[in-house]
Structure 1
Amino acid sequence: MQAPDLLPIEDQLFALSVESIRQFAAEHQDESFYGFGIDCMADMGMFLLCFNSEAAFAGTAREYIERFQYSAAQLAELKTNFGDWKYQDFNQEQPHWDPGWDTYREAISDYLTDDDIDIDEANAYVEQLMRCVCRVLVRIERSGILERTRMDRGFTTAVMDHDETLQEATVRLNSVRAEFND
């Protein structure tokens, strides 16, 4: 089985993401956000768009302190954990997403779960795919669509796969950003 071409994947993910952010911004004009991220399950071809606000984070932090006695260090990690963000995977609820993405998701998943694929080949493709998603984020940033939301001072963006640290993800994103600046 041949690896799915990354160029059409990147272009479609970018187009769908811009539309999702446009719709989200129109529905959340009264909220202000500290971050936007793309939460990836790259090996399944799933890319979840996420926003969070300081108010939402404060509520989550209170809950985690009460229920799990979270420390300051754990709270700092929690702040960048997309799975705990109030608006994690908002794109999945929008009617344009599945019809526009399902073909790509299936192609990625089918390729990466093929019994004949070599593990090193699969890992290399996932890394290329994650770099592709980082390019999508840089294109989103440069498009100006994020400015349709109210952004807090220090607003941040990230792309992170489900099994990696923020530090690993940041190194990759910074590398891709450097390619755009060359």
Structure 2
Amino acid sequence: MDQVKKDELVNALVSAAIPSIENFFRNHSDEKFFGFAVEILAEEGYFHVGACSEESFQSTIDSYSKLGESMEDIMGDEIRWNNQEWQYFDLNYDCNIWQEKWQFMLETLNKYKEYMGSLTDSEWNLAQRDFSALFQSAGEEAYRQIIDSGVLNGVTKTHDFRTWVFEHHDVF
């Protein structure tokens, strides 16, 4: 079975992500955002789009403050800039638009994963390595296209607003 082509995967990611992101920011237009991140878990084919606002992060500040964490630590890389601490960690998966637009590619990827399950161990290892490399590369390209699309232009942002993309295993 042939692996999905990178350009098809990029197009599917971008086509599903942009309207989901537009919908999210339309529904959260009264918030001020400090971060937008895409976390790729390539081996599983996951593409988590996350965002965090000052307003949504307040509960995290309150929670860590009660545990005795300093504001310096809370506002640092380990907490504030850790997308897994964000309330809107996977805003795309919580969106019907994403579910509808991503469904065909998800089914295609699941068929390929099913096919991979029939391979010998050595064949599976090679196929998994190739799939992970493809998905990471496609995810990074999709991120660039999402950013270049201007979808974040109308978002209210903090002075230190950041965007980034990363592969899960490179960080965690």
Please state how far the C-alpha of 1:36 moved relative to its aligned partner.
0.7
Partner secondary structure for residue 166 of structure 2? strand
8 A Cα contact 1:22 1:148, kept in partner: no
- Cross-structure match for 1:132: 138
Structure with the greater alpha carbon radius of gyration? 2
Q: 1:54 to 1:80 in 2, by over 3 A?
A: same
Structure with higher RCO (Cα < 8 A, 6+ apart): 2
Secondary structure at 1:25 match in 2: helix
Instruction: Name the amino acid aligned to 2:154.
Output: R
Instruction: Provide the alpha-carbon RMSD of the alignment.
Output: 2.6
Which one-letter code corresponds to 2:39 in the other structure? D
Whether the 8 Å CA contact 1:46–1:105 is kept in 2: the answer is no
- Identity among equivalent pairs (%): 22
After superposing on structure 2, the runs of 4+ consecutive aligned residues of structure 1 that deviate more than 6 Å are none
Q: How far 1:31 moved relative to its partner?
A: 0.7
- How big is the shift at 1:68? 7.5
Check whether the contact 1:28–1:149 (CA below 8 A) recurs between aligned residues.
no
**Deviation larger for 78-87 or 139-148:** 78-87
List per-residue Cα deviations over 1:32-71 (Å, max 9, x = no partner).
1111112333333222221101343343133134348578
Could you tell me how far apart the structure 1 residues matched to 2:153 and 2:107 are?
32
1:142-174 per-residue CA deviation (whole Å, 9 max, x = no partner) reads 1111112112222211223333218xxxxxxxx
2:32 corresponds to which letter in structure 1?
S
Give the corresponding residue for 1:54: 54
TM-score (norm 2): 0.81
Q: Which residue of 1 aligns with 2:66?
A: 66
Q: How does 1:6-155 map to 2 (within 5 A)?
A: 6-67=6-67, 69=69, 72=73, 75-112=76-113, 114-115=116-117, 116=119, 117-155=123-161
Output the amino acid matched with 1:160. F
CA–CA separation in structure 2 for the residues paired with 1:132 and 1:79:
27
The whole-number CA distance in structure 1 between the counterparts of 2:68 and 2:12 is: 40
Query: Partners in 2 of 1:9 and 1:151 — Cα distance?
Result: 30
Q: Tell me, which stretches of 5 or more residues in structure 1 are unaligned?
A: 167-182
Aligned to 1:157: 163
Please tell me whether the aligned partners of residues 37 and 159 of structure 1 are also in contact (alpha carbons under 8 angstroms): yes
Give 2:4's aligned residue. Answer: 4
SS of the equivalent of 1:79 reads coil
Greater helix share, structure number: 1
- Greater mean deviation of Cα atoms: 132-141 or 74-83: 74-83
Structure 2 unmatched ranges of 5 or more: none
CA shift in 2, pair 1:127/1:66, >3 Å: farther
CA distance in 2, matches of 1:59, 1:88: 14
Cα distance in 2 for residues equivalent to 1:15 and 1:144: 14
Instruction: Give the conservation status (yes or no) of the 8 Å contact 1:43–1:112.
Output: no
